[in-house]
Amino acid sequence: MRIIAGDAKGRRLFSPKGENLRPTSDKVKEALFNILAFRIVSASFLDLYAGCGSVGIEAISRGAKNVVFVEKNKTNILLLKKNLSLFPDYHAVHVFEGTVLHFLKKNKDTFDIIFIDPPYAEGNEEILQTLGCYDNISPGGLVIIEHFHKKNLPDTAGVLSLLKRYRYGGTTLTFYVKN
């Protein structure tokens, strides 16, 4: 796993071991950030189910003004912090240790881009509905969910409307925009 572009292009990240872990592939990550293009520069970025942090760290490398990582697994948190230690000069990061739902209920900040990569077995609809009801998204902000391509997500969820779906093999990125 590596950083694809930006200030830290080419830098290798520590990646998780084990068959139950499914970090975002470099191919999907590259496609995601090509779609986001210049929207990432100076954006506030929320990485839900952050794992080892590769997506949020890519956002840092490409110029996000601040990144919040949310992760509940202790092993993943240690790996995430190890990866963040590669960026000692970047101070606009925060790691929230707990569940996504707890973070969303507690958080008062808004984000320009929210990336969600839950375990494929978890209910994406619940997180999507929660985001659609809370005020965590800036006006015109994006919510992107990475999910199994056969999983159908709704066209709307509260203030969120489907923007577009992109499929990469067995993975789909579904984009929503806040109305």
Q: What is the pLDDT along the chain (179 residues), one digit of tens a residue?
A: 778 887 777 788 888 776 455 678 888 999 999 999 999 999 999 999 999 999 999 999 999 999 999 999 999 999 999 999 887 777 789 999 999 999 998 999 999 999 999 887 666 678 888 888 878 999 999 999 999 999 889 999 999 999 999 999 999 999 999 98
25-32 contacts: CB < 8 A, separation 24 or more? 25/168, 25/171, 26/1, 26/2, 27/168, 28/146, 28/168, 28/171, 28/173, 29/4, 29/54, 29/55, 29/58, 30/4, 30/5, 31/166, 31/168, 31/173, 32/115, 32/144, 32/173
Distance CA(88)–CA(147), nearest Å, equals: 32
Across 63-73, b (16+ Cβ under 10 Å) vs e yields: ebebbbbbbeb
Tell me what pLDDT residue 12 has. 81
User: What does DSSP assign to residue 12?
Assistant: B
Q: State if pTM tops 0.85.
A: yes
- The answer to whether domain 37-147+157-166 has CATH 3.40.50.12500 is no
Tell me what pLDDT residue 123 has. 64
Matching residue, tokens 């200030």: 7
